[in-house]
Amino acid sequence: MESARVNNFIRIGLNIVEKPQYQVEGKVFEVNEEDMEIFDKYEGVNVGLYKRIKVQLEDGEAIAYQKVNSNYKIYVSGMKG
């Protein structure tokens, strides 16, 4: 397990949402497809709660889970987003 930064995302609660010029800190796990299917079930991918997304790390790409149909309004440093 390694620490990593995902560029152009911001954390809102337990979810990540695209937001240019921001970074989210996280962990990277190396898993096989069988493990990914277990994560999919845990995250509710099959019932539409979360989806897999590709994210850009400083040294490559990874898969993250993002909540589906989130209607977040982003407020950062007093600026409406």
Residue 18 has pLDDT above 60, yes or no: yes
The pTM of the whole model exceeds 0.85: no
- Helix segments in the chain, DSSP class H: 33-43
What residues are paired with 12 via a beta bridge?
A: 15
State the architecture of 2-70 in CATH terms: Roll (3.10)
Q: How far apart are CA 26 and CA 58, in angstroms?
A: 12
Q: What is the pLDDT of residue 68?
A: 86
Which residue is it, tokens 């600026």?
A: 79
- Summarised one tens digit per residue, pLDDT across range 52-75 is 999 988 888 899 998 887 665 545
Residue 8 has pLDDT above 80, yes or no: yes
- Summarised one tens digit per residue, pLDDT across range 21-46 is 999 998 888 999 999 999 999 999 99
CA distances from 38 to 27, 29, 31 (A): 18, 14, 10
